């Protein structure tokens, strides 16, 4: 058989293989692009201060300084700060997920004058940077005596988050109207409809919203630095402010090692919630 007399089905198969090769190449490149910064952070945590400051750059440490991680862990109350971060993140993520689901349900299933205008204002508030509301927020909590407490995160959680409201609104709007009509005929109110019908159906959005909110709170540096004292502060503040020399110069390799340990809980939360996310996607079909 000559090169020009290929089987009839060979050309489509070649195109499929080429397309897959291109797709996999792009995916591998994007994966390396996203993982690269974390890999560099890990390598920085294994270097000496001289290697970090060297020019040209030392890509790999001469000797892996594993003790940087133990030093970073023991130089501060790492577990104490991590506990504070965990408490704040769990409080905020739980409350903001539920409140956002409730608001999203209202926008999706209830009719009221000005609903579209209010939803437009809600979406527009997503464009406001945090720095604009930082000073008014601090003044309000200071007047209420809530500085150096965790109450601000409770109220932030109860106030819902525009982006999460948008996610829940889009999900609830796609559910059949017959669900609530049948429940109303059976004498259920909208509160019962939300808690017993719509919320159990929204496990994919609940999982995603919880992970997003937990990441927001765990990674927040500005609010804990502004509102909390050193003893009640979070791990993000401690990592950025406590690994310094007597002259106030940051110890970069210890900061990098602490940052790696700081990121690990977020990865664990995502891996645990991912199972619920996939399970929710497979079981969220209407019965």
Interval 226-245: pLDDT, tens:
999 888 899 999 998 888 88
pLDDT of 1 higher than 50: no
Q: Which two tokens stand for residue 223?
A: 């609010």
Considering only residues 133 and 105, tell me which one the structure prediction assigns the higher pLDDT. Answer: 105
CA 37 to chain centroid, in Å, comes to: 17
Cis peptide before 13 (omega within 30 of 0): no
Q: CA nearest 46: which of 71, 18, 77?
A: 71
Q: How far apart are CA 117 and CA 266, in angstroms?
A: 36
**HSE value, Cβ hemisphere, 13 Å, CA-based, for 46:** 14
- What pLDDT, in 10s, does the model give residues 68-103? 999 999 999 999 999 999 999 999 999 999 999 999
- The CA distance from 176 to 108, in Å, is 11
| Cα Rg of the chain (Å, integer) | 25
Question: Of all residues in the chain, what percent are helix, strand and coil, respectively (each to 5)?
Answer: 75, 0, 25
CA distances from 122 to 72, 100, 161, 164, 194 (A): 42, 12, 9, 11, 21
């Amino acid at each position: 058989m000559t090169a020009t007399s290929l089987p009839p089905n060979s050309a489509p198969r070649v195109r499929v293989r080429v397309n897959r090769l291109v797709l996999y190449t792009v995916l591998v490149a994007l994966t390396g692009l996203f993982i690269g910064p974390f890999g560099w952070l890990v390598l920085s945590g294994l270097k000496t201060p001289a290697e970090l400051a060297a020019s040209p750059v030392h890509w790999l440490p001469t000797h892996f300084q594993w003790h940087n991680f133990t030093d970073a862990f023991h130089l501060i109350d790492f577990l104490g700060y991590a506990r504070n971060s965990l408490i704040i993140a769990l409080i905020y993520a739980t409350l903001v997920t539920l409140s956002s689901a409730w608001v999203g349900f209202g926008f999706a299933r209830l009719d009221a004058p000005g609903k579209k205008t209010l939803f437009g204002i809600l979406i527009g508030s997503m464009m406001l940077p945090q720095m604009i509301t930082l000073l008014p927020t601090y003044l309000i909590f200071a007047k209420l005596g809530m500085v150096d407490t965790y109450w601000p995160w409770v109220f932030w959680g109860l106030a819902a988050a525009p982006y999460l409201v948008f996610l829940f609104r889009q999900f609830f709007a796609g559910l059949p109207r017959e669900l609530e009509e049948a429940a109303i005929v059976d004498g259920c109110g909208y509160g019962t409809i939300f808690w017993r019908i719509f919320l159990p159906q929204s496990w994919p959005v609940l999982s995603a919203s919880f992970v997003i909110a937990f990441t927001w709170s765990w990674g927040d540096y500005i609010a804990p630095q502004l509102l909390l004292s050193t003893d009640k502060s979070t791990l993000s503040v401690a990592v950025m402010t406590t690994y310094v020399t007597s002259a106030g110069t940051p110890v970069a390799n210890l900061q990098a090692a602490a940052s790696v340990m700081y990121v690990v809980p977020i990865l664990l939360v995502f891996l645990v919630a991912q199972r619920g996310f996939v399970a929710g996607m497979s079981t969220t079909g209407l019965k």
